[in-house]
Structure 1
Amino acid sequence: MLLVKSAYSDRLEEASKLLEHITSLSETGGVLESSILKSSYTLLLYNNLEATVSSSISYIHEKASVCKYDDLSDEFKKLYASFYHFDISRKKVKEHLDGTVSGNFRFPDYDEYCKRITIFSGNIDLRSLNDFNEKYGIGRIDLRGRTPDNILTIKNKRNKLAHGEESFRDSCRHYTLSELQELGDSLEKLLSKFIELVEVFVTDGRYKTPVV
């Protein structure tokens, strides 16, 4: 988890440096440049969201990949079954069942899993992240105030920029520096809480069958 947290911190620093540069440009009258960079800032925030969530899920899968079916929690047994036993040809049914019964099959790592299963059907926001947490048994992220709306704004801005619905010069032109900072603060609240939940989840071994 140290690598996940280190990369996350580096991306936070990148966003902070970019916001400082936007502030400097705004003070010297670089309207066009600062408008473009404001949009780039929201894109950088979303990239941090997606990268941190993906690397955290990869870490969970790495820890669980040593486990046989019988070793897994109920939630992870469902994930295992969806990977190995869903939509397979009749020829492979016995092979997959034998692999499970014998213990030769282990919980799939993240890259393997993503080749067959879509974890997020769209882009990530607080709702979809909580849906993921529920499916994995991690725990709910409960954030109040403007934070959920700000996370949704980051996602929506990313989509509109990526699909060309809004230009970089216009998308965030009217955002104040304090509003941009608020977006960044909201993302940090979300990801810090998510990382905390994942770390506790893995440390407690909650992906495994509870020891009676």
Structure 2
Amino acid sequence: MDFDKENYTNKKKELKFYLKCLNATYSIEHEANLGTPYGSHFYSGFSSYNYELGDFIVILKSNTYLMIYNMVESTTRELIAHIYDEVNESSLHYQDINDQLQILWKNYHFHKINSEIHASSQTFIDTANKMIDEIFNENSIHFNDEDIALSGDADLKSISKLFNLHGIKLNKRTTKVYKSDLWSIKNSRNSLAHGDQSFIKLGRDTTIADLENTTNHIFKFLEYLIRMTNRLILRGYFQK
């Protein structure tokens, strides 16, 4: 079954609408600078603050990075979760899934123990025995999308690594052109989220045209991931 693009499409439309509205704010600022009645009325709302209308526009530009990053991370997560759904719904046994997913399934079990502060050696033994029982009893393999590790780190390197862990290698020739934008978006998002930079400072030297170009570039990258994932799932890549 193909990846359900409804959520992706809605976010894409939302981001395009946001950029269109952002463009419209420049018209308002232009009216304000001309001293027209409409512009003066709108500008008067900022008179009691230490900021100008232009500062508000810069804040809106910086917020675009948060929206783009959210789309990158959420779409990547949803694609991996879609793979999990396909595996889970196929009721496959351990012996049926490919080698890379076998390794991942085992690692997930022990990763949960490693996260426990007071995990004992007996806990590891019990987990190993449980895994052995599941394999020999031919229980259906189940993956949980809560195990997907990506939060705050979605750039080309981490996305490529995540897909590789699931037995999928991204085409380097295709993806290398997106490396710079993905890295910039991740770092800008993290700078804002962690308070390292203010919204006004981060967006000061960025134009709306820059943001539109970056956004369209990211759309192409995400749609490459969607096409590739759909194609591999259709071929049943996750089975031996």
| TM-score normalized by the length of structure 1 | 0.88
Q: 1:76-91 to 2 correspondence within 5 Å?
A: 76-84=101-109, 88-91=123-126
Q: Which residue number in structure 2 is paired with residue 9 of structure 1?
A: 9
Shift of 1:43: 0.5
* Unaligned ranges ≥5, structure 2: 30-52, 114-122
Partner of residue 196 from structure 2, selected from 162, 165, 168: 165
Q: Which residue number in structure 2 is paired with residue 36 of structure 1?
A: 59
Partner of residue 156 from structure 1, selected from 187, 191, 197: 187
CA RMSD of aligned residues (A): 1.9
> Structure 1 residues 8 and 32 mapped into 2: Cα distance closer, same or farther (>3 Å)?
same
How far apart, CA to CA, are the structure 2 residues paired with 1:150 and 1:82? 31
The CA deviation string for residues 87-139 of structure 1, in whole angstroms up to 9 with x for no partner, is: 5522343232111111125132323xx1xxx6337511111111122221223
Larger radius of gyration: 2
Q: Which residue number in structure 2 is paired with residue 93 of structure 1?
A: 128
Q: Which residue number in structure 1 is paired with residue 98 of structure 2?
A: 73
How far apart, CA to CA, are the structure 2 residues paired with 1:64 and 1:110? 12
How far apart, CA to CA, are the structure 2 residues paired with 1:27 and 1:158? 27
Q: Which residue number in structure 1 is paired with residue 159 of structure 2?
A: 129
Q: 1:36-75 to 2 correspondence within 5 Å?
A: 36-65=59-88, 66-75=91-100
1:4–1:52 contact (8 Å) kept in structure 2? no
1:25–1:31 contact (8 Å) kept in structure 2? no
Aligned residues: 203
* Unaligned ranges ≥5, structure 1: none
How far apart, CA to CA, are the structure 2 residues paired with 1:34 and 1:121? 28
> Structure 1 residues 20 and 36 mapped into 2: Cα distance closer, same or farther (>3 Å)?
same
> Structure 1 residues 109 and 67 mapped into 2: Cα distance closer, same or farther (>3 Å)?
farther
> Structure 1 residues 122 and 46 mapped into 2: Cα distance closer, same or farther (>3 Å)?
closer
How far apart, CA to CA, are the structure 2 residues paired with 1:158 and 1:26? 24
Q: Which piece of structure 1 moves more, 25-34 or 9-18?
A: 25-34
Q: Which piece of structure 1 moves more, 101-110 or 59-68?
A: 101-110
How far apart, CA to CA, are the structure 2 residues paired with 1:126 and 1:2? 23
Shift of 1:4: 3.5
2:73–2:150 contact (8 Å) kept in structure 1? no
Partner of residue 119 from structure 1, selected from 136, 149, 158: 149
The secondary structure found in structure 2 opposite 1:170 is: helix
The secondary structure found in structure 2 opposite 1:195 is: helix
How far apart, CA to CA, are the structure 1 residues paired with 2:93 and 2:210? 48
The CA deviation string for residues 143-181 of structure 1, in whole angstroms up to 9 with x for no partner, is: 344x32111111111000000011112211211111111
Residue type of the alignment partner of 1:203: L
| TM-score normalized by the length of structure 2 | 0.78
2:152–2:190 contact (8 Å) kept in structure 1? no
1:138–1:197 contact (8 Å) kept in structure 2? no
Give the helix-richer structure, 1 or 2: 2
Which aligned segments of 4 or more residues in structure 1 are displaced greater than 2 angstroms? 1-4, 83-89, 91-96, 118-122, 141-145
> Structure 1 residues 41 and 2 mapped into 2: Cα distance closer, same or farther (>3 Å)?
farther
